[in-house]
Amino acid sequence: MQTLDELTRQARALANGEPTPVEPTPAEAEVARQMQICNACRYCEGFCAVFPAMTRRLSFEPVDVHFLANLCHNCGACLHACQYAPPHEFAVNVPQAMAVVRGQTYVDYAWPPGLGRLYQRNGLTLCVALALGLALFMALALAARGTLWMVPEQGFYGVFPHNLLVSLFAPVFCFAALALGLGVRRFLSELRPGTGSAPASVGPGLEAAQQALTLRYLDGGHGDGCHNEDDAHTHWRRRFHHLTFYGFMACFAATSLATLYHYGLGQAAPYGWFSLPKLFGVGGGLALLAGTTGLGWLRLRRHPLHGDASQKPMDLGFIALLWLVAATGLGLLLARATPALPSVLVLHLGAVMALFATLPYGKFAHGVFRSAALLRNAVEKRQPSRLQLGSD
């Protein structure tokens, strides 16, 4: 409840045209409460970037909370090491409190703003997107060929002409990139005043990129890894994430290279087994399949206190969608000279379309927002701290 004092102060600030402090949401207030406890303890400082960033602050305004929440990698180390974790009455569970706020920031910073809601019922969002994607390509295939069971003479492009595919995917992909870009731009600009103010330069940029690409903060701070189902350390979350991310990037590279071959070199698919698009595509597809299988398995076995249970459908839905993309992509190899090709192609393209369309409104966003937080952290930590705590 607000005190009379507080209301008077806010009224005065409003009358003077000062910016009014933002009232924290319950999730933000919970992170602020926990950070106040953590800041007085600091035992977890060695685990990750969150705690050193915390020690530069004495209070935790919503914008600080957004920053710290996205800096948190949900590795679980601080929960298992916490002397104040439940059943302690302080009930400190930093990974969980941060996860709830992270989910909220995805909604708040989504572009266009109204679509942030898609995060909240993400299982449904992904299902609908997938159904629409499949229906679209099924309808197109049937309209053009009248059947989903045939051996087209020109391979894939015998089902869907190349230009058609480009004209469908390019706008969706560009929209996804634009939406994520605008969202994270606003996120960065709101974070900036509270995180050292300085603009990002090459040094911090390289550092943040290195941390993101190596998943530095899933190493536990000591190199033994993070946590999954209990207080034991594991490298498997990191390994499966690497397989997923780099597998995805390899598949993306395969598609980009194929586009280049098609337009630049005038070479149309299919490409030979040892061509670059094929090597990237098959390698990436296998990695993505293994990575998502592993991540899904780990996610199902995660300790119940890790993270926000309400985000489980988002996490698992995204993993499942990526898995489907990988599996159907590899399926195309097997189905290439068979009459099943159009059906597998419809499945694959429908899944890819659903994935692209929901990139800015699903789990994919975590990579973008976390990288942004790592970037601001790399900037901030280069600035001298404003605090002079006596015990140092």
Partner 1 sequence: MDLDVLVIGGGNAALCAALMAREAGASVLLLEAAPRAWRGGNSAHTRNLRCMHDAPQDVLVDAYPEEEYWQDLLKVTGGITNEALARLTIRASSNCRDWMRSHGVHFQPPLSGALHVARTNAFFMGGGKALVNAYYRSAEKLGVQIRYEAPVERLELEDGRFVAAWQGGQRITARACVLAAGGFESNREWLREAWGQNPDGSWPADNFLIRGTRFNRGVLLKHLQDEQGADMVGDPSQSHCVAIDARAPLYDGGICTRIDCVSLGVVVNQLGQRFYDEGEDFWPKRYAIWGRLVAQQPGQIGYSIIDAKAVGRFMPPVFPGVKANTLEDLARQLGLDPATFMQTLGAYNAACRPGHFDHTALDDCRTEGLSPAKTHWARPIDTPPFYGYALRPGITFTYLGLKVDAQARAHFGGQPSRNLYVAGEMMAGNVLGKGYTAGVGMSIGTAFGRIAGQQAALGALAQKHNKKGAAHANA
Residues in touch with partner 1 (CB under 8 A): 36-37, 39-47, 52, 55, 58, 77-78, 80-84, 86-90, 221-222, 224, 231-232, 386-392
Cβ closer to partner 1: 97 or 129? 97
As measured in angstroms, the least distance from the Cβ of 373 to partner 1 is: 20
Cβ closer to partner 1: 74 or 122? 74
Both structure tokens of 144: 């053009």
Spatial CA neighbour of 76 closest among 234, 207, 294, 208 = 234
Cβ closer to partner 1: 79 or 330? 79
Measure the CA–CA gap between 367 and 73, rounded to whole angstroms: 10
Cβ closer to partner 1: 302 or 366? 302
Cβ closer to partner 1: 94 or 188? 94
As measured in angstroms, the least distance from the Cβ of 214 to partner 1 is: 19
As measured in angstroms, the least distance from the Cβ of 390 to partner 1 is: 5
As measured in angstroms, the least distance from the Cβ of 205 to partner 1 is: 26
Helix pair 365-380, 94-108: axis angle to 10 deg: 110
As measured in angstroms, the least distance from the Cβ of 218 to partner 1 is: 15
Measure the CA–CA gap between 379 and 281, rounded to whole angstroms: 36
**To 10 degrees, the CA torsion angle through 229, 72, 110, 238?**
-50
Kindly state the helix (H) or strand (E) to which residue 89 belongs, with its residue range. none
Cβ closer to partner 1: 43 or 149? 43
Long-range contacts of 117-121, Cβ-Cβ distance < 8 Å, separation of 24 or more = 118/358, 118/361, 118/362, 119/314, 119/361, 119/362, 119/365
Instruction: Provide the strand spans (E) within 190-278.
Output: 226-227, 233-234
As measured in angstroms, the least distance from the Cβ of 177 to partner 1 is: 39
The alpha carbon dihedral of 221, 224, 227, 233 has a sign of: negative
